[in-house]
Structure 1
Amino acid sequence: MPRLVLASQSPARLATLKSAGVTPEVVVSGVDEDKVLADATERFGELDPADAVLVLAQAKAEEVASRLEESWADAEAPADGSPADVPADVIVVGCDSMLEIDGTIVGKPADAATARERWRAMRGTKGVLHTGHWVVDLRDDAAGGTGGTLGSTSSTTVWFADIDDDEIDAYVATDEPLHVAGAFTIDGLGGPYVERIEGDHHGVVGISLPLLRELLTDLNIPWRQLRNA
Structure 2
Amino acid sequence: MSLPSPERGDAGGRVELVLGSASPGRAEILTRARVGFRVVVSDVDEDAVGAEHPDASPAELAGLLAEAKGRDVAARVAADGVAVPTLVLGCDSVFEFEGRAYGKPYEPDVALERWRAQAGRAGTLHSGHWLGLVMPSASASGSPAVAGVVSAGVRFAAADEATLAAYVATGEPLFCAGAFTIDGAGAALIAGVDGDPNAVIGLSVSWLRGACEHLGVPFTELWVSSNTRR
* TM-score normalised by the chain length of structure 2: 0.87
Q: Report what 1:105 is aligned to.
A: 101
* Aligned equivalents of 2:172, 2:106: Cα separation in 1: 12
Contact 2:16–2:84 under 8 Å retained in 1: no
1:48 to 57, 60, 67: 57
> Which position in structure 2 is the counterpart of 1:129?
125
Instruction: State the match for 1:207 in structure 2.
Output: 203
Give the structure 2 partner of residue 67 of structure 1. 76
Task: Give the conservation status (yes or no) of the 8 Å contact 2:126–2:149.
Answer: yes
Greater relative contact order, per chain length (Cα 8 Å cut-off, separation 6+): 2
1:139 deviation in Å?
A: 2.3
Distance (Å, rounded) in 1 between the aligned partners of 2:29 and 2:83:
25
Tell whether 2:30 aligns with 1:24.
no
Distance in 2, Cα, partners of 1:50 & 1:217: 23
Query: Post-superposition shift, 1:40?
Result: 3.4
Aligned equivalents of 1:119, 1:105: Cα separation in 2: 15
Query: Where in structure 2 are the equivalents of 1:153-172 lying within 5 Å?
Result: 153-172=149-168
Specify the code of the residue in structure 2 equivalent to 1:47: A
Letter in 2 for 1:61: G
The C-alpha deviation readout for 1:11-47, integer Å capped at 9, x for no partner, is 0000000000012110000011111222234xxxx10
Question: What is the one-letter code of the residue matched to 1:184?
Answer: F
Q: 2-side partners of 1:6 and 1:96: how far apart?
A: 12
Hey, what does 2:23 align to over in structure 1? 10
2:220 corresponds to: 224
Query: What is the deviation of 1:140?
Result: 4.2
The one-letter code of the counterpart of 1:120 is R
RMSD of the alignment, in Å?
A: 1.5
**Residue 76 of structure 2 aligns to a residue in which SS?**
helix
Kindly state the Cα deviation for residue 149 of structure 1 after the two structures are TM-superposed: 1.3
CA distance, structure 2, for counterparts of residue 39 and residue 179 of structure 1 = 22
Among 158, 168, 183, the alignment partner of 1:187 is 183
Distance in structure 1 (CA, Å) of the matches to 2:25 and 2:206: 16
AA at the equivalent of 1:189 = A
Query: 1:79 maps to which residue?
Result: none
Q: C-alpha displacement at 1:71, in angstroms?
A: 2.1
Q: Which residue identity is paired with 1:51? A: E
Give 1 or 2 for the bigger CA radius of gyration.
Answer: 1
Select which of 116, 123, 126 maps to 1:120: 116
TM-score, normalising length: structure 1: 0.88
Question: Which of 85, 91, 109 is matched with 1:89 structurally?
Answer: 85
In the aligned structure 2, how far is the partner of 1:117 from the partner of 1:181?
14
Deviations 1:73-112 (A, max 9, x none): xxxxxxxxxxxxx423111000000110010001111310
Question: Mean Cα displacement is larger for which, 109-118 or 123-132?
Answer: 109-118
CA distance in 2, matches of 1:163, 1:40: 35
Q: Which amino acid aligns with 2:131?
A: V
Partner of 1:77: none
Q: Which amino acid aligns with 1:147?
A: S
* CA–CA separation in structure 2 for the residues paired with 1:127 and 1:69: 38
Aligned residues: 209
Gaps of 5+ in 1: 73-85
